[in-house]
Chains A and B, each alone.
Chain A
C-alpha cells in the first residue's frame, strides 16, 4: 500500500501542507490558551463555597463532558448566526476547542487540588489565612505539580481534536489532506501526509511529557 505512494504529489503540495500544519499549531495553541483560562475559572467556580456559583461551574463541566466536541462545534457553527453573532469559521473553531478542553482542564486542576493533604488546608485555616491567601500561597503552588502531565495529555487530545474543524471548512492539516485527495483522487497520499504531520506533533508533546516526568522524579528526591 505504501510502496506506490506518490511522493511527487506530496512534495507538490508541500507549501499547502506546511500552511495547514502551521494553522493546526496556531488553532491548537490559541485553543489551549483559552481552555486553560476557562479551566481555571470553571475549576474555581466548582470548588468555591457559594452554592449557586458552584452549580454553574459543575453544570458547565458536566454538560461539556457528556456531549461530543463535534455536536458542540455544530451547535456553535449553526447556532451563533441565529443569535446574530457572525464569526469566521476559524474563530468559531477556536472557541469550540477552548470551551471543550476547558471542562477537562477544570477537572485536571480540581484533582490536583484534591490531591493535597487535608492537613495543609487546616494548617492554613488555623494560621488565619483568608480564602484567597489560602488558595494563592498554600494550595495552588502544591496543586500545579501533579497537573503538568495530564495537561500535556490534554494538549495532545486538543491537537487531535482540532482536525474536526476541517468539517466546518477551516483550512488546517486534515483539510489540506482532503484537498489532495479530492484534487488528485489520491486519498492515500493526502491522508498519509496528514497523519505524519499529526504524528510529529504527538511525538514532540510525548517527549515533553517524558522529560517533565524525568525532571519531576529527579527533583522530588
Chain B
C-alpha cells in the first residue's frame, strides 16, 4: 500500500517541482521589492520628521497587526472592488512584498538607530551631504548590524509565501493540497512538501546561526 502510494507520488514530481519553482520565484520577487520599499520606510521612520515617521509607523502597524491571510484576501477580493484588477499571482506578490517591506522597514530602522551617534556627527563635521552621509556612513553600518535579522526575515518570507496558496496560486503547499486529494496520505505528501521547504530554508537558517555566533559567547 505504502509502496504503491510512493510510486504514485513519484509520478507527481513535475507538479511538486513546479510548485517549488513558484514558491521560490514568489519569494525572490517579494524579497527584492520588499527590500527596496522597506529601505524607503526605514529612511522615513528615521528621518526626524514626526509626521512622516508617524504615518509610516501607523501603516506598518496595520500590516504587522493583521494576519497575512487577511491581507492576501484584501489584495485579491477588495482591490478589484476599487477598480484594481489583479491576477492571483500579482495579488500574491503584492501582498507578500508589502508585508516584507513593513518588517524589513522596521528592521533596518532599528539598525540605523543602533549606529553610534558619533558616526553621524563625524560625517556632518567632515562636510558630507545628507545623502552621502546615509550612503557611505550610516547605511553600510546599519545593514551590517541587522544582517542576521534580515536573513531571518527572508526565511519568514519563504514560509509566509505558503499562505498565498489560499487564493489558488499553485505554489508548493497548493501542489501538496492538490495531490493529497488523489493520494490520501497526508503524512507522505506533506512530508515531501515539507522537505521542499527545508531545502530552501535550512541553508538560510544555518547561515543566520553562523552570523549570530560571531556576536555571542558560547556557553553550554
Partner-B contacts on A (CB < 8 A): 1, 47, 62-63, 65-72, 74-83, 113-114, 116, 118, 121, 156, 160-164, 166-167, 174, 177-178, 181, 187-188, 191, 194-195, 198-199, 202-203, 206
Contacts and interface: CB of A to CB of B under 8 A. Distances in A.
B82 interface: yes
Contact of B65 (A70, A177, A178, A198): A198
Contacts of B205: 62, 65-66
Interface of B: 61-62, 64-70, 73-74, 77-78, 81-82, 155, 158-163, 165-166, 172-173, 176-177, 180, 184-187, 189-191, 193-194, 197-198, 201-202, 205, 216-220
B133 to A, nearest CB: 30
Contacts of A174: 67, 69-70
Contacts of A71: 162, 172-173, 176, 190, 193-194, 197
Contacts of A82: 184-187
A168 to B, nearest CB: 11
A68 B162 contact: yes
A70 B193 CA distance: 11
Contact of B201 (A65, A79, A166): A65
Contacts of A166: 69
Contacts of A118: 217, 219
Nearest to A4: B81
Given A68-B159, A71-B162, A187-B81, A78 B180 contact: yes
Contacts of A191: 70, 73-74, 77-78
A65 B155 contact: yes
B190 A75 contact: yes
Given A68-B160, A71-B162, A187-B81, A199 B69 contact: no
A114 B161 CA distance: 32
Contacts of B162: 68-71
A208 to B, nearest CB: 14
Given A67-B159, A71-B197, A75-B190, A160 B184 contact: no
Contacts, number: 147
Given A62-B202, A78-B180, A202-B64, A163 B186 contact: no
A199 B66 contact: yes
B76 to A, nearest CB: 9
A68 B200 CA distance: 11
A78 B192 CA distance: 13
A192 to B, nearest CB: 8
A113 B176 CA distance: 38
B67 A161 contact: yes
A78 B165 CA distance: 16
A206 B58 CA distance: 13
- With a 10 A CB-CB cut-off, give which of B187, B189, B190 has the most chain A CB atoms: B190
Contacts of A163: 67-70
B155 A198 contact: no
B58 to A, nearest CB: 11
A195 B62 CA distance: 9
Contact of A74 (B64, B78, B190, B201): B190
A93 B15 CA distance: 27
- With a 10 A CB-CB cut-off, give which of A62, A66, A156 has the most chain B CB atoms: A66
Nearest to A177: B70
Contacts of B191: 75
A68 B68 CA distance: 13
Contacts of A121: 219-220
Given A163-B69, A195-B66, A187 B78 contact: yes
Contacts of B163: 68, 70, 164
B185 to A, nearest CB: 6
A160 B194 contact: no
Contact of B197 (A68, A181, A187): A68
Contact of A1 (B81, B166, B184): B81
17 contacts: A63-B198, A66-B205, A67-B159, A67-B194, A72-B190, A74-B177, A77-B186, A78-B186, A78-B189, A162-B67, A163-B68, A187-B78, A191-B70, A195-B70, A198-B67, A202-B61, A206-B61
